[in-house]
Amino acid sequence: TATQQAPPSVNWAWRVDLPNYWHPLNLDGDATWEYPIVDQTQAPTYTLRLTHKNPVGGGETVLASATFTNAPGWPFIHAVGQFHPSTSQDDLIITVGGSAYMLYLQGASLATGWSAGSPYGSGLYPGAVGPDITGDGSEDLAWIPYSWGHRLVNGGDGSLVNGGYGIAWLSQPIVAQ
């Protein structure tokens, strides 16, 4: 026999600010999504929080966070990969205003592995993460860190890879794993 079921209903709603090029993440590898939420209540200071959201009850748990004080622009996520050579988890490359940052999980913090100033912050598109071409144990990426050219970037330290100038690669959208 059939059992009558209640009609679908909205149990919770979530109004949040998200970085540009956001998507669900699983940086800690625990098979649940983290959502990159931006707290702009103290703008121009922005706090990026990786937040677990319970899909049933709507409860939230903040996994980790990083704060950017006096940021000249909104956060953008450009790449997700294994950039920090001493971690097995995925890491982020983001820009905030005129600077780029590689962030990795360290306890309840998103620690900065490296940062690079202008002109990295003018990067307009996500990067395409690839294998470790520099041999330093970190994934590398094809990116347009400047608004005028394609580059190969060492994910481990943010430096441009020699010979990676003027390549005909195009940045690709980030695909969540």
pLDDT in tens, the chain (177 residues): 567 777 777 777 888 999 999 888 888 888 788 999 999 999 999 999 999 988 888 889 999 999 999 998 899 999 999 999 888 889 999 988 878 899 999 989 999 999 988 666 656 678 889 888 889 999 998 887 665 567 788 999 988 887 655 444 444 444 444
- Residue 37 has phi, psi (to 5 degrees) of -105, 140
For the entire predicted model, the pTM comes to 0.83
Distance CA 37, CA 17 (A): 6
